[in-house]
Structure 1
Amino acid sequence: MKSLLTEDGYQDITSRIEKLSENSKKGWGKMTVGQMAWHCQYPLQLAITNKPNSSKGNWFVRTFFKKSLYNEKPWRKNLPTSSLMKTADEKDFKKEIAKLKMLIDDFYAVRTRDKWYPHPAFGVFTPEQWGQLEYKHLDHHLKQFGV
């Protein structure tokens, strides 16, 4: 599984993002390309800020869903998403894609840090799992828009 914490994964994602445009057409789902760029920012911000939390995650989610976040099997289309990552507002593509690129760079820059705090919903991840999760999420949405 590719990881956003490796040079190969980072280069793959950043080069594919460069292929997006305001006119990129979605293959599934309800989001516009600007909304997708906004949507992809939250998980990166969560990992980058690396704030301590007391959460060990939801047992059901950890048991039945967590491994699918970072394994080789692609996510199915139209999966439900957290309300924190949904918007009905139109988003400016150029502004949101610039923020997304910056966050991807920031995430890659912290790849060697020593301490990674648990995800508030999914609990503890190794650095490798964090990188695979972030790669897989971005890959899923880039495929959604044909890149």
Structure 2
Amino acid sequence: MTAPQMLAHCADALRMAYGDLPCAAKNVPLARLGLVKWLFLNVIPFPKGAPTARELIARPPAEWGDEREAIVALIERFAREASRPTWPPHPLFGPMTGPQWGQLAWKHLDHHLRQFGA
């Protein structure tokens, strides 16, 4: 994954969190259990090489500056909308609250930024 591809992927993951980018649900009942979801969001490190939704790697990245502006805007949007009452379900983890989406978004961004030494 190149840096522009990573930004596009992370931006699309945030779009998925808002419900702007639908992703097909995965049928992994264990992942929807409260304890498993909590462990993944709060304890277990983000796994290297973890599979991702096809929808999150489907589009080619835009120009670097455009992808950078887009992800900054999406992060700022997340900050503005963090307390909204309902959020779309995650394709793997199912129903998620705003704080859970926030934790997952942070963990995902941190995972990819560390890959690039940021």
TM class, shorter-length: 0.7 to 0.9
Cα deviations by residue, 1:83-113 (Å, 9 ceiling, x for unpaired)? 1112584642211111111111111110121
- Aligned residue for 1:132, secondary structure, equals helix
User: What's 1:112 paired with?
Assistant: 83
Over the aligned positions, Cα root-mean-square deviation in angstroms equals 2.8
Distance 1:83 1:68 in 2: 24
Distance 2:2 2:13 in 1: 18
Q: Which amino acid aligns with 1:146?
A: G
User: What's 1:103 paired with?
Assistant: 74
1:127 deviates by 2.1
- When residues 89 and 65 of structure 1 are mapped into structure 2, their CA distance, relative to the original with a 3 A threshold, is farther
Q: Considering Cα pairs closer than 8 Å and 6+ residues apart, tell me whether 1 or 2 has the greater RCO.
A: 1
Distance 1:103 1:114 in 2: 18
Contact 1:35 1:90 in 2 (8 A): yes
- When residues 104 and 122 of structure 1 are mapped into structure 2, their CA distance, relative to the original with a 3 A threshold, is same
Q: Which amino acid aligns with 1:95?
A: D
- When residues 69 and 97 of structure 1 are mapped into structure 2, their CA distance, relative to the original with a 3 A threshold, is farther
- When residues 65 and 91 of structure 1 are mapped into structure 2, their CA distance, relative to the original with a 3 A threshold, is farther
In the alignment, does 2:57 pair up with 1:86? yes
- When residues 87 and 105 of structure 1 are mapped into structure 2, their CA distance, relative to the original with a 3 A threshold, is same
Share of identical aligned residues, percent? Answer: 38
1:144 deviates by 0.7
User: What's 1:38 paired with?
Assistant: 8
User: What's 2:32 paired with?
Assistant: 62
Unpaired segments ≥5 residues, structure 2: none
Q: Which amino acid aligns with 1:48?
A: Y
Distance 2:99 2:61 in 1: 34
- When residues 136 and 93 of structure 1 are mapped into structure 2, their CA distance, relative to the original with a 3 A threshold, is same
Larger radius of gyration: 1
TM-score by length of 1: 0.64
Unpaired segments ≥5 residues, structure 1: 1-30
